[in-house]
Amino acid sequence: MSDTVTPFTLAVPQAQLDDLAARLAATRWPEKETVADWTQGSPLAKVQALVEHWRDRYDWRACEARLNGLGQFKTNIDGLDIHFLHVRSKHPNALPLIVTHGWPGSVIEFMKVIGPLTDPTAHGGKAEDAFHVVMPSLPGFGFSGKPTQTGWGVPHIAMSWVKLMERLGYARWVAQGGDWGAAVTTAIGVIRPPACAAIHVNMPLIFPGPEDMADLTPMEASAVAGLQHYQEWDSGYSKQQGTRPQTLGYALVDSPAGQAAWIYEKMWAWTDNQGNPEDALTMDEMLDNIMLYWLPATGASSGRLYWESFGSFGSQQLDLPVGVSIYPKEIFRSSRRWGERHMSNIIHWNEMPKGGHFAAWEQPAAYVGEIRDCFRQVR
């Protein structure tokens, strides 16, 4: 198998965009929800407004140009093409960093932080905090290949990222992620390849045990309540994607409005907002991300990762240096004392004042600060 790394340029055919516009115009809408909030899912009026903006005002070519301007590449690992952004810093002592997204995200989540991470002196930082940044698309997501056989779960992806960093010539590097990116980054930490100096996660996969319930701190009690809410009211997507991703995929790949609504609801549920997703992210930002599901038709393939690996979201022992940032609107928040049971070398732990599940996307300056502070300990 070739180790070649090939530049990749996005050039979506206009016919594909015309087809999208026609599908949006021909959307067959359901009736309005019977409640006055989001408890039945994405409200009709909100999704109609998003689709109208998508059809009439959104500019994919602007997003395409930004991605092409950063530096996109593909390489084949274990028979699968992996798409990734690779932005090298001008600073000679920059630390290589591999950052992994989750669902329903993409490399779009990190567009605001690439500049400050790779060129800190142009963004109020110091040269010694510079990173070379590698941001892959998970298998079955974005413009990475779609697995045609089982086995592309979190452990396989983690080993593939190790191979990717080796292929790029990085002998010493660090890793970061949230959501599935946290699972992959944690798996890298469990593997503990010699080249990986440390990891950082913004959704630590650490959960309380029965013995913790008797003396919860206020923060821990809030975290437990949040996890219970997630399990009872917010986790249906994961059960569907974890059991029947193929069935769901027929709808998501065929209907752009359906794909948008499936993702948009999580933009409401998982961001730090005042009642509307647009409080945290603009419509254009959300649509840039949705397009990375619609254009490559990944409704089934992205969901299939849940079928492969949803059990990976569990506490694991980590002995390499670990950093953690806890955002207040994260799906689940761990306390440091829970973390210390499974992480023997915590080099950074911080509870943030604002932000949700999409840390780099929602709070880019704070995210960059956390990454700099954490990995400064291992430079």
**314 pLDDT higher than 90:** no
Q: At what angle do helices 236-243 and 245-254 cross, to 10 degrees?
A: 110
Query: How much is the pLDDT for 27?
Result: 98
**SS3 sequence, 178-217?**
CCHHHHHHHHHHHHCCCCEEEEEECCCCCCCCHHHHHHCC
Q: For residues 145 and 66, is the Cβ–Cβ distance under 8 A?
A: no
DSSP string, 68-119: HHH-EEEEEETTEEEEEEEE--SSTTPEEEEEE--TT--GGGGTTTHHHHH-
Quick one: average pLDDT of 181-185?
97
Task: Using alpha carbons only, give the angle 207, 188, 136 rounded to the nearest 5 degrees.
Answer: 110
Strand partners, 323: 200, 348
Helix (H) or strand (E) holding 325: strand 322-326
Q: Which pair of structure tokens corresponds to residue 237?
A: 């997507």
Q: Which pair of structure tokens corresponds to residue 207?
A: 């959960």
Q: Which domains does the chain have, with CATH numbers?
A: 5-378 (3.40.50.1820)
Residues 6+ apart with CB under 8 A from 87: 70, 71, 114, 118, 132, 133
Q: For residue range 319-340, what is the model confidence (pLDDT) as tens digits?
A: 999 999 999 999 999 999 999 9
Residues 6+ apart with CB under 8 A from 346: 322, 323, 324, 336, 339, 340
Amino acid, single-letter form, for residue 144: S
Return the closest-CA partner of residue 102 out of 364, 360, 370. 360
Please give the mean pLDDT across all residues of the chain.
Answer: 96
Query: How much is the pLDDT for 1?
Result: 57
**141 pLDDT higher than 60:** yes
Task: Using alpha carbons only, give the angle 192, 304, 79 rounded to the nearest 5 degrees.
Answer: 60
Query: How much is the pLDDT for 310?
Result: 85
pTM over 0.85: yes
Query: How much is the pLDDT for 133?
Result: 98
Q: For residue range 64-114, what is the model confidence (pLDDT) as tens digits?
A: 999 999 999 999 999 999 999 999 999 999 999 999 999 999 999 999 999
Query: How much is the pLDDT for 313?
Result: 72
In the block, residue with structure tokens 């670990």: 322
Helix (H) or strand (E) holding 66: helix 60-70
Nearest-angstrom CA–CA distance, 280 and 203? 18
Quick one: average pLDDT of 140-161?
98
**150 pLDDT higher than 80:** yes
**311 pLDDT higher than 90:** no
**8 pLDDT higher than 90:** yes
Q: For residue range 329-368, what is the model confidence (pLDDT) as tens digits?
A: 999 999 999 999 999 999 999 999 999 999 999 999 999 9
Whole-number percent of the chain with pLDDT over 90: 96
Q: At what angle do helices 283-294 and 256-270 cross, to 10 degrees?
A: 130
CB neighbourhood size of 166 (10 A): 14
Q: For residue range 250-303, what is the model confidence (pLDDT) as tens digits?
A: 999 999 999 999 999 999 999 999 999 999 999 999 999 999 999 999 999 999
Quick one: average pLDDT of 152-169?
98
